[in-house]
Chain A
Amino acid sequence: MGVNYQTVLWNRNKKIYDRWIGLSMLIYLISFIGLTFITNVQTSVETLIIRAFGTLAIVLLHIILVIGPLSRINTRFLPLLYNRRHLGVSMFLAALIHGGFSLFQFHTLGNVNPIYALFSSNMDYNSLKNFPFQVLGFFALIILFLMAATSHDFWLKNLSAKSWKRLHMMVYFAYALIIMHVFLGSFQQQPSLWSTAILSFGFVVITALHISTGSKERKLDHIKTTDTNEGWDYVCDIDEIPEDRAKIFIVDNERIAVFKYNNKLSAISNVCKHQGGPLGEGKVVDGCVTCPWHGYQYLPHNGQSPPPFTEQVSTYRLKLIDKKVYVSPKALPEGTEVDPVIFNN
């Protein structure tokens, strides 16, 4: 972290990204409302708002969930990942409007607490066609709220990286709840071939993307070097590493990045402290390794972020024998200074 926190670390790219989010959401809502008026004039305003914002939230969630694996497949998708946080918060706001209006429409205006009514109006948990689907939506909204509320670097630091990550991985559980909320809810009341097919297709695509990219990455984890030299593992030939870039190597199932810069070689952990981005896919800019995801930086010789930032990653010792780069597989404590290997061109 730096000297202080900002509400949003605005920059030109984020502003462009956010304008696109706003515009796309507006276009979607106008199109949805327009289409509904053409096909079903009798729809009430409340029903229209509930459906418009509900479907918008689902569309946004699908986009959010494909960004990660798509970025692994092709770096062209990295710009989408850069400000995914704002996309997530926007999705939550759409879901909140949907949930709020639904609660008002179906469970208020009586003499019962609306949340109590939500849970008690239908308790047919044994039935699939009459399942209390509203409860699923309620819990999904709680998860999305906690995620949106903690989408700030303050929480990343103060909740501990592990807790924050665990909380944000609950998006997958929320996704499952939302899918079932739709299939056991509106698809039971108004079955529609097209809607069922579209949502099923979305689910298949997302699942397939995550599983396939995960399998691809997992294969890399199991790669072991066969060339060792007195306990040092062979990484690659020095010419294989581009200038100001890195070669990613696997040591004990973990990835490290060996960077070449200014006739020097240094090795650090491949995992960015911010949100786990692949440092080895980044560049050396102004003497600092720069994460391709959000631009966090680390000095290559000690794994420390330049002041006033305080993040640190593990470092590794290297040696060069006849143009062959070897790494000592033992990770040094985060922020440990290691003399870079100096070579002549």
Chain B
Amino acid sequence: MLIIIEIFVNLLLGYFIFGLLFGIYFFIKGAFKLDELIIESKWTVRLLLLPGAIGLWPLLLMKIIRKTTTK
């Protein structure tokens, strides 16, 4: 049981670290790729969206990849 907890906690930590890295990318470039309306918006909007980007990075990454490949 303790091993399962250890694996789970490490996975959580890994998810969060990837989320942070994705969040940086999202702030600089990713948000624009996802939605063109962000271009006209202030940087504070992207800052506000950062927690969501960190929390849901796998979903957003898939969407960005899909958008990039269909273009």
Contact = CB atoms under 8 A, between A and B. Distances in A.
B14 interface: no
Contacts of A5: 37-38, 41, 45
A163 interface: yes
A150 B50 CA distance: 10
A3 B56 contact: no
B48 A152 contact: yes
Contacts of B63: 158
B44 interface: yes
Nearest to B38: A5
Nearest to B44: A7
Contacts of A155: 49, 52
A17 interface: no
Interface in B1-56: 1-2, 5-6, 8-9, 12-13, 34-35, 37-42, 44-45, 48-49, 51-52, 54-56
Contact of A149 (B13, B55, B59): B55
A323 interface: no
B31 to A, nearest CB: 8
A158 B44 contact: no
Contacts of B38: 4-5, 154
B5 A116 contact: yes
Interface residues of B, number: 28
Contacts of A2: 37
A155 B40 CA distance: 16
Contacts of B34: 158
A88 to B, nearest CB: 14
A159 B62 CA distance: 11
A146 interface: yes
B45 A113 contact: no
A2 B56 CA distance: 24
Interface residues of A, number: 25
Contacts of A146: 52, 55-56
A6 interface: yes
A208 to B, nearest CB: 33
* A7, A120, A146, A155: residue with the most chain B Cβ atoms closer than 10 Å: A7
B48 A7 contact: yes
A227 B30 CA distance: 54
Contact of A113 (B1, B9, B55): B9
Contacts of B42: 6-7
B51 A145 contact: yes
B9 A4 contact: no
A2 B37 CA distance: 8
A242 to B, nearest CB: 37
Nearest to A114: B9
Contact of B2 (A120, A145, A150, A154): A120
A157 interface: yes
Contacts of B45: 5-7, 154
A1 B48 contact: no
7 contacts: A5-B45, A113-B9, A116-B9, A123-B1, A154-B38, A155-B52, A159-B59
Given A116-B6, A149-B51, A150-B55, 7 more contacts: A5-B45, A113-B9, A115-B9, A116-B5, A116-B9, A157-B35, A158-B63
Interface of A: 1-7, 113, 115-116, 119-120, 123, 145-146, 148-150, 152, 154-155, 157-159, 163
4 A-B pairs with the lowest CB-CB distances in the bound complex, closest first: A4-B40, A149-B51, A149-B52, A5-B41
